[in-house]
Amino acid sequence: MRWNWALFGGSVVSMVVSMGGGGLVRVIWGLWNWSCFGGSVEGEMGEALAGVGKVDCIGREMWGALAGAGKGLILRKQEQGQNRMKFKAFLTENGVNLLEKRFLPALDKMGKICHLFLTSEHAFFLHNLLSGDGVQSIAQFQKEALFDDYRISSQNEDRIAFAIDMSLLSRAVRSSVSICSELGGGGSNANRLQIKLVKKLPPNSTLPTPFLTFETKGYKSAVIQDVPISKPLSRAQVLELQTALDMAQDLPQTLVQVPDLNQLQNFVDRMKHVGDLLNVSISKYGDLHVQTSTTLITLGAEFRKLLVVGERAVPPPEDQNVSAQIRSERAILRGDAQSVQVNVKHFSKSLQCHQVKPDCAFYGIAPQGACLTVIFQFFIPGTRQTDKSISLHCRLPVLDPS
């Protein structure tokens, strides 16, 4: 028997067992107290189970746990109910690239906890839609953009939603991708990353716990990583989440395209040292004006003649040679612009989404100044056509100027 340990930040992330008859390693993220005994390892962030000889219960209703050295394998059957939710799919190569390298790192910076909302056609990553606090972010994927052999069922119109820790999810995907490249090929299903929703009985527990499980199979080995999730949302909670999602899809009547997010990020980084509040105005002329001020200093930036999507207007000639602040105030009085005040940290956080590598970014203010909206657009590679299988937008809460 040969152990190959992969270490991450001083913690056991993954272990691959090589043995003549095959092997299995299980990693449960978020668990502590690791020790070695009798061919099994329990890790600081995981529990690894390795059987001597062939283990053929991978991914089925039974799961094995070593009771101790030389005491063999104890099999426990997962409890099943008539209302059990089921989800299983394979992540495609494009899906792995989208999640691992682009979306998960960016969404992790939006907030530690996220709701993963799965339907028969889409997968959503949702931040703060139910809490109402902080920046709301909505990442939507058609199932074909991420998955192959996508299967989902529930008694709630085939909809499943639960909360998940983004850092644990990111680490599990990253580790699984690394393991896939190390295990090597061996059949049509080898080297594929399967993801599924399961319930298991953790060590020293009497209550089954839900997990999002990642399973990587090689020719003679397999690695299973379990990411703990919240109890799946009830029918009423899913309805509440769906209602909040539908409301969050409303678009501002005027959107302006910001061509250089890095430049805007640099301005906002300077403004963070001046004040906590940011005044943002957007006009139908294609002007975006951001400003922060204190009793001693005012710092602002203006982007003019941007591409306008939606309602637009022609700027009056008399406004050409006045200051940005006066031009913005006049446009608001005419009804050709809106202005809102947001937290500068929220604005900066929304800019972190440039890590998903969008092709375009648009800013707009919702009717009655309800929120500041940022929409990121993606093109089909090699074209200027919108990729409708992926979407991402953020909604920043506005502050009462008084």
Is 145 within a domain? no
Neighbours of 211 (CB within 10 A): 21
pLDDT of residue 175: 87
| Each residue's pLDDT expressed in tens, for the chain with a length of 402 residues | 333 333 333 333 333 333 334 455 556 565 433 333 333 333 333 333 333 233 333 333 333 333 333 333 333 333 343 347 899 999 999 999 999 999 999 999 999 999 999 999 999 999 999 987 889 999 999 999 999 999 999 999 999 999 999 999 999 998 888 877 766 544 445 567 899 999 988 888 888 899 999 998 766 677 889 999 999 999 999 999 999 999 998 899 999 999 888 888 888 888 888 888 999 999 999 999 999 988 888 888 889 999 999 999 999 998 888 888 899 999 999 999 999 999 999 999 999 888 899 999 999 999 989 999 999 999 999 999 999 999 999 999 999 765
Is 260 within a domain? yes
Task: Report which of 238, 251, 235 is spatially closest to residue 130, judged by C-alpha positions.
Answer: 238
**Residue 366 sits in a domain of what CATH number?**
3.10.150.10
> In 23-159, which ranges are E strands?
23-28, 35-37, 40-43, 46-48, 62-66, 73-77, 86-91, 113-118, 122-127, 136-142, 147-153
* Calpha distance 267→301 (Å, rounded): 7
| Residues pairing with 375 in the sheet | 362, 393
**Cα 398 from chain centroid?**
23
Is 160 within a domain? no
**Domain carrying residue 306:** 254-397
Is the pTM higher than 0.85? no
In total, the chain counts a number of residues equal to 402
From residue 196, alpha-carbon distances to 59, 147, 188 in Å are 9, 12, 19
* Calpha distance 307→361 (Å, rounded): 11
- Asked if 162 and 87 touch (Cβ cutoff 8 Å), the reply is no
Is 63 within a domain? no
* Calpha distance 202→78 (Å, rounded): 11
Neighbours of 182 (CB within 10 A): 16
| Residues pairing with 394 in the sheet | 137, 374
Is 109 within a domain? no
- Asked if 292 and 344 touch (Cβ cutoff 8 Å), the reply is yes
Task: Report which of 285, 254, 270, 291 is spatially closest to residue 373, judged by C-alpha positions.
Answer: 254
Is 269 within a domain? yes
pLDDT of residue 127: 96
pLDDT of residue 247: 92
DSSP structure class, residue 229: B
3-state secondary structure of 64: strand
Task: Report which of 83, 349, 122 is spatially closest to residue 242, judged by C-alpha positions.
Answer: 122
- Print burial letters for 239-255: b (CB count within 10 Å at least 16), e (below 16): eebbebbeebeeebebb
What is the number of structural domains in the chain?
1
* Calpha distance 172→175 (Å, rounded): 5
Is 314 within a domain? yes
Is 387 within a domain? yes
Look at phi and psi of residue 285 and say left if phi exceeds 0, alpha if psi is from -120 to 50, else beta: alpha
